[in-house]
Homo-oligomer: A and B are copies of this chain.
Amino acid sequence: MDLGSIIGVVLGLALIGGSILLEGSILTFYNLPSILIVIGGTIAGLFVAYPMNKVKAAFNVAQKAFKGGSINYQESINQIVEIANVARREGLLALEEAASKIDDDFLKKGIMLIVDGTDPELVRNILETELAFIDERHGEGRSIFDALGAFAPAFGMIGTLIGLINMLQSLEDPTSVGPKMSVALITTFYGAVLANLVFIPIATKLKLRSKEEMLIKEVMVEGLLSIQAGENPRIIEVKLESFLPPSMRKGLEDSSEGAEG
């Protein structure tokens, strides 16, 4: 699970909680109707905007993004080089067995296409179409979190407007004005916290994760096509590594990269 995100949310909530406790009590900030209108309204907007299957898919994507940890590029490259070695020694047909041990479905699919003797141009087309759809699906996931980040403050403001309108209707008791206004502002507060501590940052993180995943899959496509072309495994390795940013290459270049950044 993604440590940074957990630390971030916990740290943010702790700071907000501490800041509340300095002057008041956490109870002041607990208001069930406010929670219902911000979270419920945000979900309602989401249901109007997105088909249910997209919403489900977006949360799956988000969950995986946070669970997966960082992608190990070097390991993927090693795997491809190993496959290239097998192909060199035992021929393309021997890859069928190798494919069965691979976890990544994208890589596995690519190998099966090679084993089936598919035309190289078609292999590239099929894999890149697949890549384009994975990218689009990721894009939809991000756009859902962007939408959440816009709906939450909007419904926060709607909740505050409801509170203010109700309060202003009955001003007979002046002592109740403050607390009522206070409660009205709580929905705005919820909306702002949800958007800025959860939805917007998650949308950003999904974007980064998606870029990383696309990079490794592009490396795979390049590797698979090189294997099919019967290139030398050592040359394949050099070629694939040039796809990686210097800091991700084998240890040696890390220090020099710092000087370029």
A: residues with CB less than 8 A from B are 2-5, 7-9, 11-12, 15-16, 18-20, 22-24, 28-29, 33, 36-37, 40-41, 43-54, 57, 60-61, 64, 70, 103-106, 125-126, 129-130, 133-134, 136-138, 140, 143, 147, 150-151, 154-155, 157-159, 161-171, 175, 177-182, 185-186, 188-189, 192-193, 195-198, 200-202, 204-205, 208, 242-247, 256-261
Classify the secondary structure of A's interface with B: helix
Specify which chain B residues have a CB less than 8 angstroms from the CB of A36 in the assembled complex. 15, 18-19
Q: Whole-angstrom distance between the alpha carbons of A166 and B22 in the complex?
A: 10
The reply to whether B45 and A197 contact each other, CB–CB distance below 8 Å, is yes
- Given A15-B41, A44-B11, A70-B51, A105-B192 contact (CB < 8 Å): no
* Given A8-B45, A105-B256: 19 more A-B contacts, CB < 8 Å: A5-B48, A11-B40, A11-B43, A11-B44, A19-B36, A19-B162, A23-B163, A23-B166, A45-B201, A48-B197, A105-B257, A106-B260, A151-B196, A154-B192, A154-B195, A155-B196, A161-B192, A168-B179, A168-B182
The reply to whether A8 and B46 contact each other, CB–CB distance below 8 Å, is yes
Residue from B24, B106, B175 in contact with A166 in the complex, judged by beta carbons closer than 8 Å:
B24
Specify which chain B residues have a CB less than 8 angstroms from the CB of A157 in the assembled complex. 192
Specify which chain B residues have a CB less than 8 angstroms from the CB of A103 in the assembled complex. 259
Specify which chain B residues have a CB less than 8 angstroms from the CB of A242 in the assembled complex. 125-126, 129-130
Nearest first, the 7 closest Cβ-Cβ pairs linking A and B are A8-B47, A12-B44, A168-B182, A49-B201, A48-B201, A8-B48, A171-B178
